[in-house]
């Protein structure tokens, strides 16, 4: 087959191997791409399994063809949004092979003009530059926004390679200030809203959260503890110069319209509090709060409330300055980005199912919810000017996962759908437990198991994956709809079974060695987050540590102690029998991953966004550190963090997840 063909909304190029939907490139690599090419060469005809084996594995005579073809067909159907039960494109013919059953149309080829022209001949785009190509694809996808009124104008603002972090209009709307994150470092830029060129603001950078009426920026500078205890809040003039530290442990902030004080979200003692002025609590939660924004009149504060730490599902909520609170719009599987429109509405970006956020509007009383715009990608609304202009970024975000070992340190990508979060690895690395909760599973939490022996992946069931059982015959999962319920999903034959209730609202839970107990982060009604020990047979829960946010923990080989990284950056040792908390001497924050007789394996978190991540051994008494491994993906383009590392009990194998983001900032005029 030569050239391009079209089927349904898809276009496939035999020359480049690219698959596109409505012009937007779809990630399809390796064997699934070869299978699609083979089927498209013979539409309507069965391509035998033997023909596919020779095409996909010409030099591998001992490959497991059955498993390999099943996996390739599964990933190809996922890319085409196809179904094995009711196929539109890829049909399985039992005991024979596969057939392409869709209708194929050839792409019309343009005929060169036969007369002379004064216009220069178009030059081919340099597709050999992967980074540039990826960014161009993102920009091109913007053209497929949901059709709007003809007066809508959309102009690209940021052209710097990286992730568009945050953006705000100046009070008069004539200037735009924004941040771009590259290689873990955030840079600030300012430019006119009517021109595309911007200059970098001198200084140490940071993530912009607000601009006062006097042109003073509020900036958050992150550290390795940001996911646990927030960032440092600074103030700085838009023209650069010196920055003044204002506060610490802050997740979000916004200047009041009069420019004299800031509303802040503070993380402290296992809760997040919304404060205005600083020190006066208007709202508190054991989850977390983002996108704090004052109404134009300054009498209300809107924000997004996320009930579960490290999960962007949430609701749009509003509080008055005297603490009267109401939920405006709830049950969003992903909600990030919020701003007040001059017409009095709250504009926000969120998704009901999956992870592709669209732009919505709602009145502060909760009435009049409507969709404003959507795109083939995730939108993030940053700000709306007093003239109704909208700053919005469009991005491509994936969570990928890989495995590695001391014997074979080269990372092996095991990403399944679009949000693959690794949760556990068995001794020997034979099993990998992970979950998906992105667009590929419509925003649900679904637990999967990968078997290295045959390269197969199994769907175990719904729920957020926590850990494998000691005998490897089951998986502990948390019910994401009722986070008071833990259950065991069988890996083989058997039925799911619920663990006894503990009265906790869980954030996460892990097994102690042997499986008789659980170490869990959770909260009781009206209480802050706290580390607990839970009896897996009775559900009895005992407090292990003072209130506080904890993401990493490791249980000692004798199951009498638990190591955890506190929100203030200390590696602490907690004893089950009570007693004083012991701190491991360290010069930087160290997140525990696994505790063995040799010591504690820890991730260095001084710079949370550094890729690859550094993992070391640390002696729990002396604090002496020895190197273990550098953990990161083979392809680091667009990767801004290694978000999770799990190490098998043998300390020889590990898995990790990493976030890959590309985004650009746009200015839209005319949206109503």
In a domain, 546, yes or no: yes
Q: Report the domain count for the chain.
A: 2
Among 83, 106, 129, give the residue marking a domain's end. 106
Q: Which of 269, 259, 151 is nearest to 210 (CA)?
A: 259
> Sorting pLDDT into bands at 50, 70 and 90, what band is 509?
very high
Q: Quickly count: other Cβ atoms within 10 Å of residue 387's Cβ.
A: 11
- Gap between the Cα atoms of 269 and 262, Å rounded: 21
Is residue 378 a part of any domain in this protein?
no
Chain centroid to CA 232: 22
pLDDT in tens, 215-260: 899 998 876 666 667 889 999 887 766 788 999 999 999 999 998 8
Decide: 666 and 373 in contact? Cβ < 8 Å: no
Average pLDDT over residues 336-356: 91
Is the separation of the CB atoms in 395 and 661 below 8 Å?
yes
pLDDT at 425: 98
Lowest-pLDDT range of 139-148, 606-615, 632-641: 139-148
| 85 lies in some domain | yes
**633 within some domain:** yes
Structure tokens at 181: 């994150």
Sequence length of the chain is 672
Q: For residue range 140-189, what is the model confidence (pLDDT) as tens digits? A: 444 444 444 447 888 888 877 667 778 999 888 888 998 887 766 778 88
In the block, residue with structure tokens 């993401």: 551
What is the Cα–Cα distance from 480 to 94, expressed in whole angstroms? 37
**What is d(CA 136, CA 338) in angstroms, rounded to the nearest whole number?**
27
- What average pLDDT is seen over the chain? 86
In a domain, 321, yes or no: no
Give me the sheet containing 281-285, strands edge to edge. 207-211, 216-221, 231-237, 243-255, 262-268, 271-275, 281-285
pLDDT > 70 fraction of the chain, expressed in percent and rounded: 88
| Per-residue pLDDT at 14 | 83
Which CATH number does the domain housing residue 643 bear? 2.120.10.30
Domain residues for the domain of 652 are 398-662
Establish if 329 belongs to a structural domain: no
Q: What is the mean pLDDT of residues 428-447?
A: 92
Q: How many CB atoms lie within 10 A of CB 587?
A: 8
Q: CA–CA separation, 602 vs 344, rounded Å?
A: 49
pLDDT at 206 over 90: no
| CATH number for 83 | 1.10.10.10
Cβ 241 vs Cβ 203: under 8 Å: yes
Average pLDDT over residues 379-391: 94
18 found inside a domain: yes
Average pLDDT over residues 277-299: 94
Residue 11 lies in a domain: yes
Tell me the backbone φ, ψ of residue 372, rounded to 5 degrees. -100, -50
**In the predicted model, what is the mean pLDDT of residues 27-44?**
87
Tell which of 106, 131, 156 closes a domain.
Answer: 106
> Rounded to an integer, what distance in angstroms lies between the CA atom of residue 498 and that of residue 518?
14
Q: Which residues pair with 347 in a beta bridge?
A: 339, 361
Q: Is the pTM of this model over 0.75?
A: no
Domain final residue pick, 71, 106, 141: 106
């Amino acid at each position: 087959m030569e050239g391009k063909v079209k089927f349904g909304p898809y276009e496939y190029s035999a020359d480049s191997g690219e698959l596109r939907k409505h012009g937007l490139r779809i990630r399809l690599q390796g064997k699934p791409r070869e299978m699609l090419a083979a089927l498209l060469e013979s539409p309507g005809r069965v391509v035998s399994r033997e023909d596919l084996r020779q095409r996909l594995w010409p030099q591998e005579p001992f490959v497991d063809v059955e498993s390999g073809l099943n996996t390739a067909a599964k990933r190809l159907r996922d890319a085409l949004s196809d179904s094995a039960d009711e196929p539109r494109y890829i049909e399985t013919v039992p005991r024979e092979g596969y057939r392409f059953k869709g209708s194929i149309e050839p792409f019309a080829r343009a005929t060169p003009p036969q007369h002379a022209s004064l216009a220069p001949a178009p030059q081919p785009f340099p597709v050999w530059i992967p980074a540039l190509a990826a960014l161009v694809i993102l920009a091109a996808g913007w053209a497929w926004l949901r059709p709007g009124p003809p007066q809508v104008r959309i102009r690209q603002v940021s052209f710097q390679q990286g992730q568009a972090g945050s953006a705000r209009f100046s009070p008069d709307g004539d200037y735009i200030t924004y941040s771009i994150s590259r290689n873990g470092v955030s840079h600030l830029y300012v430019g006119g809203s009517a021109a595309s060129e911007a200059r970098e603001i001198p200084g140490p950078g940071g993530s912009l959260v607000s601009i006062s009426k006097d042109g003073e920026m509020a900036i958050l500078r992150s550290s390795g503890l940001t996911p646990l205890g927030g960032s440092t809040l600074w103030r700085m003039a838009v023209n650069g110069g010196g920055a003044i530290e204002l506060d610490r442990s802050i997740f979000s902030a916004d200047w009041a319209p009069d420019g004299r004080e800031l509303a802040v979200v503070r993380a402290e003692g296992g809760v997040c509090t919304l404060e205005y002025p600083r020190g006066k609590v208007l709202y508190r939660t054991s989850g977390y709060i983002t996108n704090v924004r004052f109404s134009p009149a300054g009498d209300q504060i809107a924000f997004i409330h996320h009930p579960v730490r490290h999960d962007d599902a949430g609701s749009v909520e509003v509080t008055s300055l005297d603490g009267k609170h109401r939920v405006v719009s709830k049950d969003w599987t992903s909600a990030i980005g919020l701003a007040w429109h001059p017409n009095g509405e709250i504009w926000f970006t969120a998704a009901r199912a999956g992870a592709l956020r669209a732009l919505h509007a709602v009145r502060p009383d909760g009435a009049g919810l409507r969709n404003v715009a959507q795109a083939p990608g995730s939108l993030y609304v940053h700000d709306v000017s007093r003239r109704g202009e909208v700053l919005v970024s469009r991005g491509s975000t994936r969570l990928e996962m890989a495995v590695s070992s001391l014997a074979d340190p080269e990372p092996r990508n095991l990403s399944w759908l679009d949000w693959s979060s690794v949760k556990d690895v068995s001794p020997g690395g034979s099993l990998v437990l992970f979950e998906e909760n992105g667009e590929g599973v419509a925003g649900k939490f679904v637990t999967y198991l990968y078997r290295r022996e045959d390269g197969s992946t199994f769907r175990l069931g719904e729920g957020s994956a926590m850990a494998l059982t000691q005998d490897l015959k089951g998986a502990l999962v948390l019910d994401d709809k009722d986070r008071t319920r833990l259950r065991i999903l069988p890996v083989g034959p058997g039925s799911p079974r619920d663990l006894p209730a503990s009265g906790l609202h869980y954030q996460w839970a892990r097994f102690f060695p042997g499986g008789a107990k659980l170490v869990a982060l959770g909260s009781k009604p009206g209480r802050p987050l706290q580390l607990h020990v839970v009896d897996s047979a009775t559900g009895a829960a005992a407090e292990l540590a003072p209130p506080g946010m904890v993401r990493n923990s490791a249980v000692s080989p004798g199951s009498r102690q638990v190591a955890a990284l506190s929100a203030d950056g200390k590696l602490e040792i907690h004893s089950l029998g009570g007693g004083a908390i012991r701190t491991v001497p360290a010069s930087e924050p160290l997140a525990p991953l696994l505790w063995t007789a040799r010591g504690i394996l820890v991730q260095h978190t001084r710079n949370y966004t550094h890729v690859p991540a550094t993992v070391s051994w640390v002696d729990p008494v002396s604090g002496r550190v020895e190197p273990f491994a550098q953990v990161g993906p083979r392809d680091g383009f667009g990767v801004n963090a290694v978000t999770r590392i799990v190490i098998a009990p043998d300390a020889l194998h590990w898995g990790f997840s990493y976030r890959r983001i590309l985004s650009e900032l746009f200015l839209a005029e005319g949206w109503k």
